[in-house]
Amino acid sequence: MGLFAQQEIQLNINHLLNGNTFAFGVSANNNMASNFNFDRLQYYISEISIKHDGGQLVPVTDTWFLVNAGEAATSSFNLGSFNISEIEGIILHIGVEEATNHLDPSSWAMGHPLAPQFPSMHWGWASGYRFIAVEGMAGPNLTNVFELHGLGDSNYFTTEIDLSATLMNDGVLHINVDADYARILENLNVNSGIISHGETGAAQTALENYRDYVFTPAENTTTLVNEITTAAPLITTSLNNNKLLVNLAQTEIANAQLILTNINGQCLSMQNVNAYQTSASFNLPHNGMYILQLWQVNKLVYSTKVLFK
């Protein structure tokens, strides 16, 4: 038996481009020698299940995430608390399941991932949501537009990633996944530009590439769920009205970012941390639970919850 019973679990998706940290406007190449960059990259994740303790599956119910690559080096999402000892993998779907796909977006509360978005992530009640919206420029001089908006119930694919998890010093089990978005364009020649919106053609291929190539276990995933990271810097927080004050007691923190998210893992604010910096602050937009994280060289080294009421 493992050491843990009811355990909080967080999914972290590291955004990459050919193995490097993802950023808009950065030139890359695919396996077809196409030159391209991205200026929009969004996708839905739904119907997540956690594989654990000898192949058991526990579903993460009524949960949808809208991933916006480029907002931060990593997107983090709270999956909830489960009676789990050892994580063996994660199963997820890109898109929105059929039962939900054709509902009215305006029926969801503002701020919900399935509520109306700008730019739009919905194609209309008959076709449902855009599962992915990938846009950029292509060609030798990056002068040709490409757009891949993939959708359709028949393209709602299952992706299974075998991995273990890391218990951080925040007491949360972290599932760390790398997403290399250059592989969205695997076997697609986009040099002359492609506009593909719908359920077939290049848009369908891009969804298949999400299923087959994009996601892999993060390189810094450990093999034991009870390994606690002890090298995290000492961080303390306090509240002053609607401002979160962060004290960085350990100096010489470099190549780091402080990231503030809501409880659903959506990035609200991000700040670079300079060497010898001793403090930082964030404005909290409203009452509620927030998560403050410190990332260093694309690795999560500290995370804590903040309740503002």
Q: Is residue 84 part of a domain?
A: yes
The domain boundary, picked from 186, 217, 248, lies at: 217
Q: How far apart are CA 31 and CA 47, in angstroms?
A: 30
Same domain for 150 and 255, yes or no, is no
Judge whether 225 lies within some domain: no
Residues 115, 63, single domain; the answer is: yes
Residues 189 and 250 in one domain: no
pLDDT score for 224:
28
Q: Are residues 31 and 166 in the same domain?
A: yes
Report pLDDT for 257: 83
User: Are 140 and 281 members of one domain?
Assistant: no
Note the pLDDT of residue 259. Answer: 86
Structure tokens that stand for 74 in this block:
């990593």
Write the CATH number for 253: 2.60.40.10
Q: Please give the pLDDT value at position 134.
A: 98
Q: Residue 102's domain spans which residues?
A: 6-217
For the entire predicted model, the pTM comes to 0.73
User: In angstroms, rounded to a whole number, what is the distance separating the alpha carbons of residues 167 and 28?
Assistant: 34
Instruction: Check whether the bond before 119 is cis (ω within 30° of 0).
Output: yes
Residue 173 lies in a domain: yes
- pLDDT at 24 (0 to 100): 95
pLDDT in tens, 37-64: 999 999 999 999 999 988 999 999 999 9
Residues 58 and 145 in one domain: yes
Task: Identify whether 14 is part of a domain.
Answer: yes
Residue 227 lies in a domain: no
Hey, what's the torsion of the CAs at 254, 232, 171, 92, to 10 degrees?
40
Are 103 and 10 members of one domain? yes
Residue 228 domain-assigned (yes or no): no
Confidence at residue 28, expressed as pLDDT on a 0 to 100 scale: 96
For the chain, which residues score pLDDT lower than 70?
A: 1-5, 166-170, 219-234, 249-254, 263-265, 297-299
The reply to whether 239 and 189 lie within a common domain is no
Residues 131 and 195 in one domain: yes
Identify the domain boundary among 217, 248, 273: 217
Whether 229 maps to a domain, the answer reads no
Is 249 a member of any domain? Answer: yes
Residue 229's contacts (CB-CB under 8 Å, 6 or more residues apart) are 166, 168, 169, 301
The pLDDT assigned to 53 comes to 87
Let me know whether 209 and 240 are in one domain: no
How many domains does the chain contain in total? 2
Residue 5's pLDDT is: 56
Same domain, 287 and 248: yes
CA distance 77 to 70: 16
The pLDDT value recorded for residue 248 is 81
Residue 272 and residue 167 share a domain: no
